[in-house]
Amino acid sequence: MNQFDGPETFDADALRKRVSTIRTIDREASKPEKAPAGLNPLARQIALQFRADTYSPAMMIGLIRLLDFCALFAIGYAINAQYVGPSLPDLPVYLAMLAGGSAFAVMAMQLADAYQVPALRAWLRMLPRILGAWAGAFGAIALALFFLKSGHLYSRVWVGGWFAAGVLFLVAERTFIAYSIKHWSRNGTMERRAVIIGGGAPARELIRTIEHQPDNDIRICGIFDDRDERRSPNVIAGYPKLGTVDELVEFARMARIDMLIFSLPLTAEDRILTLLKKLWVLPVDIRLAAHANNLRFRPRSYSHVGQVPMLDIFDKPIADWDSVAKRCFDVFFSLVALALLWPVMLGAAIAVKLTSPGPIIFKQKRHGFNNEVIEVYKFRSMYTHLSDPTARNAVTKGDPRVTPIGRFLRKSSIDELPQIFNVLKGELSLVGPRPHAVHAQTQDRIYSDVVEGYFARHRVKPGVTGWAQINGWRGEVDNDEKIRFRTAFDLYYIENWSLLLDLKILFLTPIRLLNTENAY
């Protein structure tokens, strides 16, 4: 009996355990992945229309919260500075009151659901809640001052002016935001782009359900299905079928897609797992629509796209504010590294220039985020006429192509320092899976032919250093086992990412570089 046959309510853990096996690297696997399928002209044209980045609702809402706090604080401070003009000893007390009141107002509006996208659109309907939250913040301030017996120390005119000015700001701001969200929705700036997997009646029902909800922020970019047009028509609910699931991988790398939604029944478990093995390598959210299934999971098992219940299969790693935090981390520590290491970089540049003819910087095409090809910078460590930009032939111990100074630079990893500029450009991260050359191979096989799921390591930006490197998987890749282990460590990093893990890897890197056994 299929594990989904039986009672109407059951645990979703079994499905998630089955799906989680897709993340595991099979160390004995040698089955090559299929070459990417070519897109048909219509699919390519549509993909190019969605090349521009969008701003996710989560990011927008976070920025609006930040705007509310900063603006309310600034309004209160401006009135205080003009009317009260507190002395320097009293200023910290006023600043604490301003910060506390502004923060409490934002929290109260959050509790009033004033930061949901539908609420931001319908500003007039939400205005009583917003102003009620602002009044509640002042009520909390008044209560605190009463119990502290310090209300007489503060100007009532200032407090009243701050409240009135805050009301005017919130009304004007929410009017402007409502207009802006409508504009952003029309021009595609603020939307979530989704692709439907699976055709026929389930896909048609899913599309109509999504489109008929008010305040819908989902833009359906097309449908992909392996079945022929007898079971899956070429046009479903007005959307074209753009190709097969194999072609979807290339489509999602060309376009900026946020979400893949399966419109398949839960009982099609084997088919879902087969498709996931192809699609989990993409940096997108993968959801299984559950609106048309008779089976019911516990409520906490679902997420929702509007009112449509979804089962979360995979989440895009390092998304939204996590990506902002990681970018800030990268920029800060890159600038610190430049400030500390510029004498080393200058010395290396002079040594490369004086010891062999050719450019100081060697540029190599490597795979970046989502398989995009980027140019990675290194100090040149080979003789110019013997260099191998494609990296088809890995550098080995005693390799005659490497210059004497290049041998030292490679062993010490000083040759990698120019990649700090790749980080500042946003092409690399300081910490992440190491970027491999586009044509890198071992034993005459490219890496993706050796490791099933190899491209899943490109779901995040590659890094100057990584989890694999500090765990001993650095240097020459001369057999299949080495690239399998590297990939396994890279996938562990992606699934367990945190800023603390990045910090740990960053500070362990100089220590682990002392081991030069595999660095040639």
- Residue 171 counted as domain residue: yes
Question: How many helices, marked H, and strands, marked E, lie in the chain?
Answer: 17, 14
Q: Is the pLDDT of residue 105 over 50?
A: yes
pTM: 0.79
Residue 36's pLDDT is what?
46
Assess whether 249 and 274 both reside in one domain.
Answer: yes
Q: Do 289 and 252 reside in the same domain of the chain?
A: yes
pLDDT attached to residue 296: 56
Pairing of β 441-442 and β 445-446 = antiparallel
Whether 519 maps to a domain, the answer reads no
**Per-residue pLDDT tens digits for 212-238:** 877 677 889 999 988 877 777 888 888
pLDDT of residue 350: 93
Instruction: Please give the Cα distance from 104 to 369 (Å, whole number).
Output: 39
Q: Give the pLDDT of residue 333.
A: 95
Contact by Cβ (8 Å): 223, 243: no
Span of 150-154, 173-177, 187-191, 503-507 with lowest mean pLDDT: 150-154
Cβ pair 200, 231 in contact under 8 A: yes
**157 & 253 share domain:** no
Residue 78 lies in a domain: yes
24-74 pLDDT per residue, tens = 434 333 344 444 457 888 888 888 888 887 777 888 888 999 999 999 999
Q: What is the pLDDT of residues 237-265, one digit of tens each?
A: 888 889 888 889 889 888 889 999 998 87
Q: Is the pLDDT of residue 137 over 90?
A: no
Domain end residue (candidates: 264, 279, 314) = 314
Q: What percent of the chain has pLDDT over 90?
A: 27
C-alpha to C-alpha distance for 389 and 271, rounded to whole angstroms: 41
Q: pLDDT band at residue 11, thresholds of 50, 70 and 90?
A: very low
Is 129 part of any domain? yes
> Of 187, 222, 248, which closes a domain?
187
Mean pLDDT over each residue of the chain, to the nearest integer: 81
DSSP per position, 331-391: HHHHHHHHHHHHHHHHHHHHHHHHHSSS-SEEEEEEE-GGG-EEEEEEE--B-GGG--TT-
- Within a domain: 1: no
Q: What is the mean pLDDT of residues 462-471?
A: 90
From start to end of 411-500, where are the E strands?
429-431, 441-442, 445-446, 463-465
Query: Cα torsion for 463, 466, 469, 470, to the nearest 10°?
Result: 140
With a pLDDT cut of 70, the percent of the chain lying above it is: 83
Q: Categorize the per-residue pLDDT at 301 as very low, low, confident or very high, splitting at 50, 70 and 90.
A: low
Q: Which domain holds residue 449?
A: 321-512
pLDDT tens digits, one per residue of 303-336: 777 678 888 888 899 988 899 999 999 999 999 9
With beta carbons less than 8 A apart as the criterion, state whether 158 and 80 touch: yes
Alpha-carbon span 234 to 241, nearest angstrom: 5
Q: Based on the structure, what is the number of domains in the chain? A: 3
